[in-house]
Amino acid sequence: MVHKGGNKGGQITIFVIIALVIIVLGASYFIFKDTLFPERVSPTFQPVETEFLDCVSGKTELGIKVLGAQGGYIEPPAFVPGSTYMPFSSELNFFGGRIPYWNTVSGNNLPINQVPSKGDLENQLSDYIETQIESCNLNSFLEEGYNIRRGIPEVEVSILDRSVRVFLKMNLNMEKGSETLTVTNHRVEVNSKMGALYNDAVEFYNIEKRDMFLENYSIDFLRLYAPVDGFELSCAPLIWNADEIFSELKNATRDNFLAMKNFGGSDEYFNLKLPIDSDVRIINFENWPSTYEVEPADSPILVAKPIGNEPGLGILGFCYVPYHFVYDMKYSVLVQLSQDDELFQFPFPIIIDNNVPIKFGDVVISPSERVNLCSEAAKSNVTVEIVDSKLNPVEGNVSYECFDSSCEVGETINGKVEGSFPQCVNGNVIVKSSGYRESSNVFSTVNGGSLTIVMDKVYEKEIALKLSNTNSREKAVVTFSSEELGGSYTLLYPENKKINLSEGVYEVRVYVFDNSSLKFEATTMEQCVDVPSGIGGIFGITHKECQTINIPEQDISNVLVAGGQKEISFSESDLSKNNLLEISVERYNNPTNIQELQIVYSLVEAKEVGLKFI
């Protein structure tokens, strides 16, 4: 038997599918009709529409240029002034243009964050085009008999890597004779690399915030063009003019930043090698707002006094002038990124405090606005556990430093302390324990938490100096310096032969001296510098100040005969198993005049000593 109605279900399913397809196609038509089927403009009104779109395209191109020139802003944020202490306002004035900083510090030392998103750029450009459409002049068509009326524009902008698309919804009513037409949807696409430039700017900004490479370059310029620390062989004081130092630093900063390239540079040092496609140019002008300070200095004159001609220091065998100056510098650079003939630029503040680069987030409270964080700040519960390298508990004292406040937390019990810490971003947990090196650990306490600190045990080591061709009369100055441990340790050998060391990397320097009969005659010299003249100094008026420097006659009782340096890493295993550290040094003949003394000094500076545990 045949059942004729057996396919009814399949037929119904087919009808349902066909109906759904018709609904989808109908909806798609109304949604995408402006894109798939753009409004057709008759030849009568095509010249009007073409002229109007050309005007919109021109306004878009102008808006893109403003965005690039002003760091992604057409209308900059509200102005926030700077101050003498913090010279950065919320924006940089560049030949009359206002370029907002993306991240900076205000005059009252509060952080300013105004990094625009790509959506912000699109919204600003949309608003700009909407306000500029009114100025699109179509009057020439009125003279030809056209009647043109415009509605209220609504603009959407999409910024892509290589183009900017503008979608404009506005009734453009056109009449000529008996013919009429209304065009509502208008679309313009402008060739532009604004999207790619913005992406590269964000990448540059993020890398700089993370690595602080601009600040690190600034430290290089400081140490290259200004006296920071060191010493010179001289019996006369060293004198510098701080204003001249700052002037040279400004010129050097300008020239060296300008020499930097992202690729293609002939000098490897100036090749930034950033993972971006844009050409990079970094600009700094010496007349931009900035502050430069140096300590110790009670006047524009910096003076470093000689050591070696005082009683009791004859062992040194010569005069030398040590110096150590600490600089605070705050100034701006303008980062320019370009591709072909398009530009995107934004300013960046550089802050160097006490010869150290500072991130903007680390600078919150100015010296004039210090608060006692120990008593006034909100508190968070933090647990600190102290252990040695074998994870055994260590007893010690815990404190917390944030800005200029140092807050006592307490003593550990079984290697642990739980306390109320002042809420602070990137403060320092300080741990002190007998027999261990003091530890400092960066820790943010805003959300509370816990921290485990591994302490480095301190070991007392004996030093043995091994000299070639020794006559057993030599004395030596031995210095152990460690950047990671933040200090240096000096002993006078053979009177002192023991030193406390912990695990870490050290630079060991040795200077060996022997008896001498060298004699330097007394001399007199005059040294002059230009200093500002009272109020006239504001206008660059200076006068000479001179001082007579008397270099006394010197009998050199000891001369440099050996020495050198070497970098070495001490593990805890080395320090715990061995007690005697041998330093091997090659000895030279005793110099008989100042020229030979200078040669020995040069040899010592280039010589590497031997170091081993025995």
Residues 597, 470 share a domain: yes
Residues 479, 405 share a domain: no
Give dist(CA 485, CA 310) in Å, integer.
32
3-class DSSP state of 254? helix
Task: Report the DSSP beta bridge partners of residue 416.
Answer: 385, 413
The CA distances from residue 468 to 76, 494, 504, 562, in Å, are 72, 16, 29, 9
Residues 381, 345 share a domain: no
- Mean pLDDT, range 166-171, rounded to an integer: 96
Q: Is the pLDDT of residue 308 over 80?
A: no
Most confident of the following: 87-96, 181-190, 554-563? 181-190
Q: Is the pLDDT of residue 143 over 90?
A: no
Give dist(CA 502, CA 133) in Å, integer.
72
Q: Which of 174, 191, 208 is a domain's end point?
A: 191
Domain assignment present for residue 2? The answer is: no
Burial of 39 (C-beta count, 10 Å sphere; 0-12/13-18/19+): middle
Q: Is the pLDDT of residue 102 over 50?
A: yes
Residues 475, 443 share a domain: no
Count of the separate structural domains present in the chain: 4
Residues 432, 468 share a domain: no
Give dist(CA 219, CA 327) in Å, integer.
10
Question: Who wins on pLDDT, 233 or 259?
Answer: 259
Q: What is the pLDDT of residues 15-40, one digit of tens each?
A: 656 666 666 555 554 444 444 445 67
Domain assignment present for residue 219? The answer is: yes
One-character DSSP codes across 386-455 = EE-TT--B---EEEEEETTEEEEEEE-BTTEEEEEEEP-SSEEEEEE-TTB--EEEEE--TT-EEEEEEP
Residue 592's H or E segment, with its range, is none
Q: Which of 145, 176, 191 is a domain's end point?
A: 191
Domain assignment present for residue 20? The answer is: no
Mean pLDDT of the chain: 83
Q: Is the pLDDT of residue 531 over 60?
A: no
Q: What is the pLDDT of residues 248-306, one digit of tens each?
A: 999 999 999 999 998 765 568 889 989 999 999 999 998 898 999 999 876 788 888 77
Q: What is the pLDDT of residues 317-331, one digit of tens each?
A: 456 788 889 999 999
Question: Who wins on pLDDT, 323 or 168?
Answer: 168
Most confident of the following: 84-88, 236-240, 382-386, 446-450? 382-386
Residue 380's H or E segment, with its range, is strand 379-387
Residues 216, 176 share a domain: no
CATH number, domain containing residue 417: 2.60.40.2190
DSSP strand pairing (238-241 vs 301-304)? antiparallel
- Find the range with the poorest average confidence among 299-303, 516-520, 562-566: 516-520
Domain assignment present for residue 147? The answer is: yes
Give dist(CA 441, CA 448) in Å, integer.
15
Q: Which two tokens stand for residue 383?
A: 């647990």
- Mean pLDDT, range 225-253, rounded to an integer: 86
Residues 384, 335 share a domain: no
Q: Which two tokens stand for residue 234?
A: 């001289």
One-character DSSP codes across 175-235 = EETTEEEEEEEEEEEEE--HHHHHHHHHHHHHHHHHH-HHHHHHHHHHHHHS--EEEEE-S
Q: Is the pLDDT of residue 366 over 60?
A: no
Percentage of the chain exceeding pLDDT 70: 80
Backbone dihedral angles phi then psi of residue 202, each to the nearest 5 degrees: -65, -40
pLDDT at 430: 92
Distance of CA 142 to the CA centre of its chain: 59
Residues 302, 274 share a domain: yes
pLDDT at 367: 33
Q: Which of 324, 358, 392 is a domain's end point?
A: 358
Helices (H), ranges, 468-593: 572-577
pLDDT band with cut points at 50, 70 and 90 for residue 547: low
Expressed as residue numbers, the domain containing 429 is 370-454
Give dist(CA 290, CA 350) in Å, integer.
10
Domain assignment present for residue 561? The answer is: yes
Residues 418, 464 share a domain: no
Q: Is the pLDDT of residue 368 over 50?
A: no
Residues 549, 427 share a domain: no
Residues 592, 505 share a domain: yes
Q: Is the pLDDT of residue 109 over 60?
A: yes
Domain assignment present for residue 437? The answer is: yes
Give dist(CA 217, CA 252) in Å, integer.
11
* pTM for the predicted model, two decimal places: 0.57
pLDDT at 538: 43
pLDDT band with cut points at 50, 70 and 90 for residue 522: low
pLDDT at 426: 79
Domain assignment present for residue 27? The answer is: no
Q: Is the pLDDT of residue 309 over 60?
A: no
Q: Which two tokens stand for residue 257?
A: 């930043």
Residues 396, 510 share a domain: no
Q: Is the pLDDT of residue 563 over 60?
A: yes
CB 86 within 8 A of CB 341: no
Q: Is the pLDDT of residue 192 over 90?
A: yes
Give dist(CA 381, CA 422) in Å, integer.
9
Domain assignment present for residue 100? The answer is: no
> Within a 10 A sphere around the Cβ of 112, how many other Cβ atoms?
19
pLDDT at 33: 45
Give dist(CA 284, CA 292) in Å, integer.
15
